Amino acid sequence: MPITTFLSQNDYTQATSSSELNELLARVRKNTGKDWRICEHKFTEITGIWPFLKRKKRILYSVYVEFMPPEFQIINFYREDTGTSINESNEAGFVAAYFYGILANR
């Protein structure tokens, strides 16, 4: 069963900071004829113990595809390395690989 959410016409329509993902997104939209969207999550990850805290800036991406407007399916990436079956936010490399897979099957 897919996980879905409702998005308005303006939700997640702006370009991401990754030019490669923006280009792939445009190609996937053109080849599938569907409304695909990417949400970019920017945050700072803090690890370690006080007073030796380390800060690392991270960017994760969530992918959505039009299901039944205005409903969108949230793409869930299965990854063995996370220990959980729900991985809707991923690094750019996983999203790019997913899009290349879609384009390879067209």
Is 101 a residue whose pLDDT tops 70? yes
Is 73 a residue whose pLDDT tops 70? yes
CA dihedral sign, ordered 57, 63, 37, 94: positive
29-56 pLDDT per residue, tens: 999 999 999 999 999 999 999 899 999 9
For the segment 86-98, the average pLDDT, to the nearest whole number, is 92
27 C-beta neighbours (distance < 10 Å), count:
16
Between the alpha carbon of residue 43 and those of residues 25, 58, 77, the distances in Å are: 22, 6, 20
**Cα dihedral angle (90, 44, 19, 93), rounded to 10 degrees?**
-30
CA dihedral sign, ordered 85, 87, 90, 93: positive
Q: How confident is the model at residue 61 (pLDDT cuts 50, 70, 90)?
A: very high
